[in-house]
Copies of this chain bind each other. A is one copy, B any other.
Amino acid sequence: MYTVHKLALVLLVSYQAVAQMPQRQPTPNDTLKSPRILDDKRAVISVYAPKASEVVVSGDFQKQYKPLSLTKNDQGVWSVVTDPLKPDYYTYTLTVDGVRTMDPKNPIIKQGISSLENVMTIPGPETAFEDNITVPHGEVREVWYQSQSLGMMRRMHVYTPPGYEKGTTKYPVFYLLHGAGDDDSGWNSIGRAGFILDNLLAANKAKPMIVVMPNGSMPMNLTPGSNMNQVMSDMRTRFSNELLKDVMPTVEKTYRTLTNRENRAIAGLSMGGFQTLDVTLSHPELFNYVGVFSSGFFGNTIDEADTKYAKALQDPSFNKNKKVFWIEIGKDDFVMDANKKTIALLDKHKIKYQYKETDGGHTWVNWRQYLHEYAPLLFQ
């Protein structure tokens, strides 16, 4: 009865109602906290599951998401202690006897289109760039619009910088794309894009800009028999139509935007990086700043890229109109092969880009860092 939740409940009911609630024996669950972060930056993840026979946790705090087994104490509480972790925001998921389980003691989650993950914070000075601190904050807006190309209501998140509301100036626009499985809320929640921009702006390390985070997950009719090449091709076409015919016109009509190529940037992670490559090579006239995080031409899309994008790849003025073409990936990323093949294609056509390999894999730990490195390069 003494958890925050129960006390919150007490605040809203009359004492009489509380007195009428069924009494029960206290359990170890009542005072359990999870995760607990130890002074040495190890995390203790726990769940009260006295009847379970196997509990594991997986998350991006482990290389390749390698699952860890929890062990049960005589109170029925399962726990595991992680290695010391670099201060950052991590995701994890418990599996209790085969059932995917959100940590009942941790309400902080990452929202996906088909599943959730828990989020834990290891505090430390390393997170200063992405923390919510007392600097001026921009606003992040949930914007619903009627997508003509998809025939449905769609949502995007739009970051407007501090001072936008009371100002009159026009701003450059940065289109920032999430990965598969996420939606338009991802970059602002687990990606902490708003805080990263706020902190860069407060330190005068980036230009004030509008950041548009569209929903890149396209409605697709996927079945076990779906031809994956066709699916990739359809997804790419749908996204490109949606971005060019709906998202960009809506943004440029609604907000005080600068609408020439010099004032438009794009970047995306994983699926969003693939979408970024496709839009950039299909419409090289749109964006002078391009960022590709942990991505490349996946699967057989690399095989057709040379012909599909021949016009842009062979255009001698392509390089001149890209002030930044930034490609970044972690050494352990499982899409490294697609990344390497994509770079080889660009090299073949003497497309100029900046390339950086970091530690780590296909995780938000890297993508927040990449945003923090890329955003200062824009519109300078």
The answer to whether A14 touches B101 (Cβ under 8 A) is no
A316 at the interface (CB under 8 A from B): no
Given contacts A98-B51, A217-B8, contact A139 B134 (CB under 8 A): no
The contact string, 1 if C-beta is below 8 Å from chain B, for chain A 192-221, is 001000000000000000000000010010
A99 to nearest B CB, angstroms? 5
- Interfacial chain B residues near A3, Cβ < 8 Å: 114
Whether a CB of chain B sits under 8 angstroms from the CB of A132 is: yes
Given contacts A12-B180, A15-B299, A15-B300, contact A7 B222 (CB under 8 A): yes
**A374 at the binding interface (Cβ < 8 Å):** no
Q: Which residues of B contact A107 (CB under 8 A)?
A: 111-116
The verdict on A228 contacting chain B, using a C-beta distance below 8 Å, is yes
Give bound CA distance, A31 to B15, whole Å: 46
The answer on a CB contact under 8 Å between A10 and B228 is: yes
In the bound complex, residues from chain B placing their C-beta under 8 Å from that of A371 are none
Question: CB within 8 A of A134: which of B153, B166, B274?
Answer: B153
Residues 1-44 of A, flagged 1 when their CB comes within 8 A of B and 0 if not, give 01111011111111111000000000000000000000000000
When C-beta atoms are compared, the residue in chain B nearest to A131 turns out to be: B153
In contact, A12 and B109 (Cβ under 8 angstroms): no
Inter-chain CA distance A299–B18, complex, in Å, is 10
Does A338 belong to the interface (CB within 8 Å)?
A: yes
Complex CA–CA separation, A307 to B198 (angstroms): 47
Complex Cα distance, B112 from A217, in Å, reads: 26
**Contact, CB under 8 Å: B99 / A47:** yes
Given contacts A8-B180, A96-B97, A101-B101, 6 further A-B pairs with CB under 8 A are A8-B114, A11-B298, A14-B337, A15-B299, A17-B334, A165-B254
